Amino acid sequence: MTETITTKVLVVGGGPGGYVAAIRCGQLGLETTLVEGDRLGGTCLIRGCIPSKALIHVADKFHGMAQTVGKGHHGISIAAAPKLNLAETVKWKETVVDKLNGGVTALLKRAKVRVVEGWGVFSDAKTCNVKTKGGDVTIRAEYVILATGSEATPLPHIPFGDKVISSTEALSLPDVPKKLVVIGAGYIGLELGIAFRKFGSEVVVVEAQDRILPLYDKDLTKPVAQSVEKLGLMVMLGAKAKGFKGGKLAVEDKDGKTVEIPADYVLVTVGRRPRTEGWGRENMTLDMAGKFVKVDDGCRTAMKNVFAIGDLVGEPMLEHKAAAQGELVAEIIAGHKRRFDPACIPAVCFTDPEIVTAGLSQEEAAAKGIEVTVSMFPYAANGRALAMDAGEGFVRVVARKDDKRIVGIQAVGQHIAELSGEFSTAIEMAATLEDMAGIIHAHPTLSEAFFEASLRGLGHAIHI
């Protein structure tokens, strides 16, 4: 017998967009039901951002220890090379994921959100049929929030399976592969490629474009390219993967020659695509914007009282964008006046070193007809960076020429991700170069690089 649930709000997808939307709905007193076919937390928490950063953390520690063998490094030396048990590392990584998954579960319970575990398929815009372990459940709602997320994009001629893996499988390998080939030199491919190289894998990265991280400008990627070379990753630029057979990946290099690269695993990281199929979108009369569900500045779809958020509605496909949209939609349903119009959505690339972008680049500002001044302060002149042996990097500030208002910040360097909040705050609060120059920054910290870059934009940097 089918159970029927009637609810004010139905959220489909328990990732960062969906669970935040559900929690906020509960806080606002809206009767809310959330449907999730996997574990609560979504791609980012379960098989993406969090587990990958846990793996990167261990890789950095292991690599740092390996550098101290023999003569040592910075006065530290160990007699024998460190040993890595990747299975134990993965087990520890899962404890981190489990803690966060449990936290999300508890938060939803506290907000009095009903969670239905199972795969949901819409028969019409307000009716969702869910296959659960206990039987079929039909949910009827007044409002619907679609938060179905995204999935790894496969290569048609090199499909996922067996030794061809996505980032999901890469984060749960039982052993360090001797030979790993990564297809795609974007942020996912390089983050994981660098981590496995630090673990000891022979890593080859195949990229169709003429440089790594093609979505970032060359100044930002130069320190990463230098690090990649120093670590010993082999990077094939202007190359195309043709097929994988018999433990070898066929690659057409930039000169048109086909070479075969031995690989224990081939990690495909050519991007992600919105999950628009498999949950009944065709029964909901939704308009599309290319491969994404089309929404307005309130995340409303073409169907009344149906909202869509996160990766489903467009770039950037980032956790914090989805979460912000989830909160916004909950408040709109509760009667608040809200619209999604952020001054910036920061992005972080957790390579070695890290990259942060927030707001407009110089080129993007020019395309909008904004005349700007650009000022940069190098890590090499920052005491904290030098004390951490992190001399490669910089903070760059883009400000309007007329009123000195900061419209963009780009930075590269070790631990620079931790400044992304300050960068975003400055842009969202419409801070000027004078504002930042007037804020006393603690010494010695990396944040002083932002302070000095702002001073330099005014023509009077102190330490350069």
10 Å Cβ neighbour count for 344? 20
pLDDT digits (tens, 9 = 90+) for 285-296: 999 999 999 999
pLDDT digits (tens, 9 = 90+) for 400-451: 999 999 999 999 999 999 999 999 999 999 999 999 999 999 999 999 999 9
**What is d(CA 290, CA 287) in angstroms, rounded to the nearest whole number?**
9
What 3 state SS string does 349-386 have?
A: ECCCCEEEEEECCHHHHHHCCCCEEEEEEEHHHCHHHH
- Judgement on whether residues 265 and 278 belong to the same structural domain of the protein: no
pLDDT digits (tens, 9 = 90+) for 158-215: 999 999 999 999 999 999 999 999 999 999 999 999 999 999 999 999 999 999 999 9
Evaluate whether residue 447 is within a structural domain.
yes
Catalytic residue among 415, 443, 460, 463: 443
In this prediction, residue 443 carries a pLDDT of 97
- Judgement on whether residues 168 and 227 belong to the same structural domain of the protein: yes
- Judgement on whether residues 141 and 22 belong to the same structural domain of the protein: yes
pLDDT at residue 269 tops 80: yes
- Judgement on whether residues 423 and 322 belong to the same structural domain of the protein: no
3-state DSSP assignment of residue 131: strand
Evaluate whether residue 125 is within a structural domain.
yes
**What is d(CA 24, CA 140) in angstroms, rounded to the nearest whole number?**
20
Indicate the pTM of the whole model: 0.94
Would residue 73 show up in a list of annotated catalytic residues for this protein? no
The token duo for 72 is 């040592």
- Judgement on whether residues 134 and 7 belong to the same structural domain of the protein: yes
10 Å Cβ neighbour count for 232? 9
The residue out of 304, 333, 362 marking a domain boundary is 333
**How many structural domains compose the chain?**
3
- Judgement on whether residues 200 and 71 belong to the same structural domain of the protein: no
Residues paired with 399 in a beta bridge? 373, 406
- Judgement on whether residues 445 and 353 belong to the same structural domain of the protein: yes
- Judgement on whether residues 407 and 381 belong to the same structural domain of the protein: yes
- Judgement on whether residues 31 and 142 belong to the same structural domain of the protein: yes
- Domain of 294? 3-152+274-333
Query: Which CATH number characterizes residue 407's domain?
Result: 3.30.390.30
- Judgement on whether residues 128 and 243 belong to the same structural domain of the protein: no
pLDDT digits (tens, 9 = 90+) for 316-350: 999 999 999 999 999 999 999 999 999 999 999 99
pLDDT bucket at 300, cuts 50 / 70 / 90: very high
**What is d(CA 266, CA 245) in angstroms, rounded to the nearest whole number?**
11
Evaluate whether residue 19 is within a structural domain.
yes
| Mean pLDDT of all residues in 7-25 | 98
